[in-house]
């Protein structure tokens, strides 16, 4: 094996590593968004069940679901603050 073959092999491994990292980062982001969406939706339902007893209620529509899904727990708190201010 000459030095050109070894350098080509190392360069190919480096490119594989870069491509792999570019594919892994979006998967992590998608999994995080899915987890936030599930937590936000469950929190909206729990808040409506418990908040209904004391007179607090968040209407569940596509916009509130998107906000709670993207932001998770802080999103539900934001929705509650926005509802009380507006």
pLDDT at 59: 83
Confidence of residue 1 (pLDDT cuts 50, 70, 90): low
Residue 8 confidence (pLDDT) above 80: no
State how far the Cα of 48 lies from the Cα of 56, in Å rounded to an integer.
7
pLDDT > 70 fraction of the chain, expressed in percent and rounded: 99
In this prediction the pTM is 0.64
pLDDT digits over 44-80, tens only?
888 888 888 888 888 888 788 888 878 878 888 888 8
């Amino acid at each position: 094996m000459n030095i050109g073959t070894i350098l080509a092999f190392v360069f190919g491994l480096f490119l594989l590593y870069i491509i792999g990292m570019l594919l892994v980062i979006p998967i992590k982001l998608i999994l995080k968004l899915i987890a936030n969406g599930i937590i936000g939706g469950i929190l909206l339902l729990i808040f409506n069940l418990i908040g209904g007893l004391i007179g607090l209620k968040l209407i569940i529509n596509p916009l509130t679901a998107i906000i709670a899904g993207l932001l998770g727990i802080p999103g539900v708190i934001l929705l509650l603050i926005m509802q009380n201010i507006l």
